[in-house]
Amino acid sequence: MFSLTNKIAVVTGAARGLGLTIAIELSKLGAKVIATDVDVNQLEKSAAENKEYNLDFMELDVTNVSDIKSVMESINSKYGGIDILVNNAGILGSMSIEEMDKEKEWDRVLEVNLSGTFFVSQGALPYIKESKNGRIINISSVSGRNGGFESPMSYTAAKGGVVALTRGMARHLAPYNITVNAVCPGATETEILKGFTEEQLQSILQYLLLNRLGKPIEVAAAVCYLASDEAGFVTGLMLDVNGGGYFG
């Protein structure tokens, strides 16, 4: 089950952390994975440290539409298509409602997390349409489902937008046999948690039934399922991987 042999997968925000874990797990199932990120130095470091996996690393700025188009064209030309897209690139932000600055945080967080998800999907779509079983998997958040516990409103709004975008794209792309789903993690042991204080983390844990942080591999496993042929009848789903932090 869950063989991704001969599949071409693109993962954004994959130089480190959750994105890199997702890329590695997809490659273990047989996919050829192009791990993209705006951080060139970290891409080079991760490439050197993960040579045993079927990964290629490529620079991509998800806020630059012309860059997205160029990179997707390059991937299609080199690998002969795109079967799976994982929109993982995201940033957190830190400002409270009272402090929120439009230029310093609000616009930037929505540009990366929400606009990036849409425009990368748009750029990859001509090639995913050519796949027999196209998959788009967006990484949202429990914050986008219930308003979050300690997340800034810029992040919450962006991830809520990803939820709505996932459902809309699922409707529009179903005629092409492309499934569109989202994974909604809770607090997970990644770089993004460095923006939280110990008090904030403890506040989050009290709302999680399992009373612990998630692990990147647990989120990656959900992505692998949604990328598989076995998930071919699943679309428009928000798959919660958050320790009981959201019941719907």
* Residues belonging to the active site: 155
DSSP letter (8 states) at residue 209 = T
As to burial, measured by CB atoms within 10 angstroms (0-12 exposed, 13-18 middle, 19+ buried), residue 175 is exposed
Q: How far is CA 40 from the centre of its chain?
A: 19
160 closest CA partner among 171, 148, 172, 150 = 148
Rounded Cα distance between 117 and 112, Å, is: 8
Identify whether the C-beta of residue 30 lies closer than 8 Å to the C-beta of residue 5.
yes
Strand bridging mode 135-139 / 238-241:
unpaired
Neighbours of 69 (CB within 10 A): 15
